Amino acid sequence: MSMHEAKEQSLHEFDIILVTGDAYVDHPSFGTAVIGRVLQDAGYSVGIISQPDWKNDADFKKLGKPRLFFGVTSGNVDSMVNHYTASLKTRSDDVYSPGGKAGLRPDRAAIVYADKLHSIFRDTPIVLGGIEASLRRFAHYDYWSGSVRRSILADAPADILVFGMGERQVVGIAERLAKGEDIKNITDVAGTAIKIELKKWRETEHGDYVVIPGFTEVESDNEQYARAFALHYNEQDPIRGKAVVQVHPKTVVIQNKPAMPLTTDELDHVYELPYTRMAHPSYKEKIPALAPVRFSVVSHRGCFAACSFCALTHHQGRIIQSRSIGSIVREVTGMTKMPDFKGIVQDVGGPTANMYSMNCARWEKHGACNDKNCLHPLCKSLGISHEKQVELLRRLREIPGVRKVFVGSGIRYDLVLADNRPGFRESRRDSSGYLRELCAHHVSGQLKVAPEHVSKKVTDIMHKPGKDVFERFRNAFSEKNRELGKEQYIIPYFMSGHPGCTVDDMIELAEYIRDNNLYTEQVQDFTPTPMTASTCMYYTGINPFTGERVHVAKGREKKIQRALLQYRDMRNRKLVLEGLGMAGRDELVGGGRGCLVGR
C-alpha cells in the first residue's frame, strides 16, 4: 500500500495497481484481496490504493504509474447501496472503513476513481471490476436517481470491464498486456465487456451476437426495458451464452460470454493463497466487516435458485463450483494456528450454504437451462444430495483445535426437504441425516432462513418456495431439536415492498407473524439494485419473463408495507392503521385477540 513497503521488497514499479473503495483487508471474503493475491501468484507485482481522497490527485499518484494497468472497484458493495438505506436516507456508518467511518468513498465510486485516474494517467489502461461495475454493465434502472442510467462503460473512461468472479479475466488481460498487446485489441476475453464507437460498430461485420434494445429505447419504453432484461438474462451462461450488444448514443457496449467457472483444483488454489486474514497493519482502527467473516470459509460459488431479487445469476452464475473437502480442511487447519483463533469456525458456505457439491448432469456440456429454473419448480435432473456437505462438516469438526463449526450463511430449506422426496434421483439419501447434523452441531441457537413472504403470488414472483414448504421445514426443525433435546429457533427473513406484493399481501404476512409468534427484527424493505429481475419489475411494472403486469408499491404504500411487517413497533402505528384502513381490515384494529394494533 506504500512505496516504502514496495522498496522493502526491492520493487520500484508496480505491474498492476488496484484502486478500491474499501479498506484493504487481506482476506478471501474481500474481492480486492482475492484479485491481488491471484495476480501476485501469477507473477505480477500489485499495489493497492485503498479509499483514496477523490477530491485531489495525491492519493492516486502515491504508488506511481503501473506498468500494465489500473484495476478499479468500488469495493465489496455497490457504493450507492453502501451509502443509502432503502428509504434513501444516508447511512451513518460504513463497515468496510476503519472504525466504521462513513464518507470515505464517493457515490458511484467506480466512475469517480476511473475519471480521476484517466485525468492523471491518460495513456494507462483502466480495467473496471467488482460488484458495482459488474452489475451496471448494461443500461439499468438506478433507484437512487430514479432514472435509467447508461452502462457504466459508457460513463467511465475505462477500457474494459470485468464482470462476475474475475480471476481468469484479470490474469488473461495482464498476460496479453505484458506481451505488448494494445488494450484496445483485447476484445475477446470471456467474462469481460468492452465498448467501441458507434460509427465503428456500424462499419463492422457483426458476429454471433444477441442485440438487445439500446439505451434510447429502454430509457423511454418500459416494454423495451423488460425485453432487454429478459434477453441479456438468458445469455448469462458460460456454456450456451452468446455475446450481448447494446447500443448507446455514442458508443456500443459488447458483453462477451461469461467466463468459464473455475475447476475444483483452481478454486482450491485461489482460496489457499497466503492470505493473512487481517486488515493491513497501517490501520489504527478495526474494519467492522472483517469480524463476522474472519474465521469463515468459502466452500463454493454460484447459486441455482435464481431468486428474482438477487443478481447472482449475472455475477457468479447458476453453476455450482465447489472446493474439495481436503482444501477446506487445510484452510481451517491453518486458522487453528492463528493466535487469536478461539476454536470457532464462524461459517462454512457460499451464497447458499447447502448447495455445496450439488450438480446437474447438463451443466458441463449444455450449461444451465434457459427455458426453466432449477428450483421453481424443482427440476428432476438436479442432484440434491447433502452427503458431501455432511462429510465436509464432520471432517472440520474433527480438526484438533476446532470446537464449533457453524453454518451461518443461510440454507435453502426446500432443498433439505426435497433431498428425501420420492421420484428424485437422490431420494435414497436421508435428508434427516443432514438436518440432524445441522441441529446437533452447526446451529448457534438460531438458524437463519429466508422465506421472504407467505403469499403464494408473491413467492411465485420471487421464485421462492411457498408457505407450505416453510411450514414443513419449521415442523421438521422443531421435531429434530426435540429429539436432540435442544432449544433452538428459526429466525426467518421477510421482505416488504417487493413487486407483486399488495397491502393485502402484507397483512396476510403480518397475521402469519402474529399467529406463529415469529421474531421480526430481521426484515428487509425491498431495494431495487442493478440487474435483478425484481428491479426490472419495480421500474417497468412488467414481469420480464412472462410479460404480465405486476403491482408495484412505491412512495406511501411502500412505507405502509414496511410498517406492517413490524406492526408491533409502536412507531409504526399510524402507518399500520392507514394500511388496515386501505384494505378494509378494521377488525384487526382494537384490543381484542388477533388485532394487530390498538385503536
Q: What is the pLDDT of residues 555-588, one digit of tens each?
A: 999 999 999 999 999 999 999 999 999 999 999 9
DSSP state of 259: P
Structural domains of the chain in order of their starting residue, each with its CATH number: 3-197 (3.40.50.280), 445-599 (3.30.750.200)
Q: How many CB atoms lie within 10 A of CB 114?
A: 24
Compute the radius of gyration of the chain from its Cα atoms.
24
What is the rounded (10 degree) CA torsion for 230, 550, 247, 74? -90
Instruction: Report the distance separating Cα 233 and Cα 242, nearest Å.
Output: 11
Q: How many CB atoms lie within 10 A of CB 430?
A: 13
Instruction: Report the distance separating Cα 350 and Cα 340, nearest Å.
Output: 24
DSSP state of 263: P
Q: What is the pLDDT of residues 134-179, one digit of tens each?
A: 999 999 999 999 999 999 999 999 999 999 999 999 999 999 999 9
Which residue shows C-alpha cell 429505447?
A: 217
What pLDDT score does 420 carry? 61
Are the beta carbons of 501 and 534 closer than 8 angstroms?
no
The total number of residues written for the chain in this structure: 599
Q: What is the pLDDT of residues 263-291, one digit of tens each?
A: 999 999 999 999 999 999 999 999 999 99
Of the CA atoms within 13 Å of residue 182, those in its CB half-sphere come to 3
Task: List b or e across 123-151, with b for residues whose CB sees 16 or more CB atoms inside 10 angstroms.
Answer: ebbbbbbbbbbbbbbbbbbbbbeeebbbb
Strand, coil or helix: 544: coil
Q: Which of 454, 443, 531, 524 is nearest to 489 (CA)?
A: 443
Are the beta carbons of 535 and 307 closer than 8 angstroms?
no
Are the beta carbons of 224 and 202 closer than 8 angstroms?
no
Q: Which of 508, 487, 494, 389 is nearest to 448 (CA)?
A: 494
Q: Which of 291, 297, 289 is nearest to 267 (CA)?
A: 297
Q: Which residues pair with 538 in a beta bridge?
A: none
What pLDDT score does 424 carry? 38
Instruction: Report the distance separating Cα 510 and Cα 565, nearest Å.
Output: 6
User: Per-residue pLDDT for 6 more than 90?
Assistant: yes
